[in-house]
Amino acid sequence: MAETFSKLAAQRAHAKKRFKERHGIDFNRNVRRFFISSIIDGKARFVQKQTNRVAVYDVDYNNKVYRVIYDRTRKNIITVMDNDENGNPVEVQKHAPTKAIDIIKEREFEQKFNQYKEMI
């Protein structure tokens, strides 16, 4: 059976992987604590709210700005964004939430389509 992680552990593993991949930084406990305390203490610059749980911040670390996605509920860094060719953090695209009505309409369509296939 595959090993399962809590959401917090999965977020930490993902952030560690992305920091290494995108910036060559070993996102260890001390670095993670620095980023989180910068956000909590108001030293980081708020960029945008994505959901009630998730927000985007710019954190200054070693004289470079990193755009991170932060989970307010778990007080955890989810991921870090790439920087553009000038070294500036790239913009974060806000995902459009899926509306329940769209899901219901899709299910109704599938049901009617299946009924039609049975008639043929």
- What is the phi/psi pair of residue 78, to 5°? -85, -50
Report how far residue 90's alpha carbon sits from residue 49's, in angstroms, rounded to the nearest whole number: 16
Report pLDDT for 75: 96
pLDDT of 12 above 80: yes
Q: Are 92 and 67 in contact (CB under 8 A)?
A: yes
Residue 100 predicted with pLDDT over 70: no
pLDDT digits (tens, 9 = 90+) for 49-91: 999 999 999 999 999 999 999 999 999 999 999 877 777 777 7
Q: Which residues of 3-24 are buried (b: 16+ CB within 10 A; e: fewer)?
A: eeeeeeeebbebbbebbeeeee
